[in-house]
Chain A
Amino acid sequence: MTMDTAQLKSQIQQYLVESGNYELISNELKARLLQEGWVDKVKDLTKSEMNINESTNFTQILSTVEPKALEIVSDSTRETVLKQIREFLEGIVDTQ
């Protein structure tokens, strides 16, 4: 039986939230990003973008900040959190 990918994704997401793992992973990610100074860097980036563009429009600022902010996430944090998510997924998804 084949399942629609979007449906599968939403089911996994729902299970992740219901089991409390989503919050755990989210908290871990937040703590790591705060520790490595990513949060401060994104704040500074947002401020400088607001100054450069002389605008406080959320959509406009977000469109410039988001790609840069995603780029500066350290590899170690990315890998650790990805590993955590992967471990959780391997536990619930039937790979047969």
Chain B
Amino acid sequence: MTEETITIDSISNGILNNLLTTLIQDIVARETTQQQLLKTRYPDLRSYYFDPNGSLDINGLQKQQESSQYIHCENCGRDVSANRLAAHLQRCLSRGARR
């Protein structure tokens, strides 16, 4: 009787193990294939930099204040601060390129 219980237990464990390893193989196969594809398409691909303190950006460089960056507005020809660009474009474009 004990022998039978052990057999059922061992077979159950074997089946669960089979299911789990199949899932793991599936995940690893997908991830490795995806990585290979990315490497082939973009040979210079670098993964994004992660700074736990949040002081560096995704390229591992010091974060810049948005207000210190100026973007040239093609519509009116002025240089606009990055954190004002969206608001500027909304007004600039709605005025029909007058300014």
**Chain B contacts for A66, CB-based, 8 A:** 21, 24-25, 28
Contact A13 B15 (CB under 8 A): yes
Complex Cα distance, B60 from A33, in Å, reads 34
B16 touches A62 (CB 8 A): no
Query: Which secondary structure dominates where chain B touches chain A?
Result: helix
Q: B28 near A62 (CB under 8 angstroms)?
A: yes
CB of B46 to closest CB in A, whole Å: 11
Q: Is the CB of A43 within 8 A of B31?
A: yes
Interface residues, chain A, CB within 8 Å of chain B? 9, 12-13, 16, 25-26, 29-30, 33, 39, 42-43, 46-47, 50-51, 56-58, 61-62, 65-66, 69-70, 73, 78, 81-82, 85-86, 89-90, 93, 95
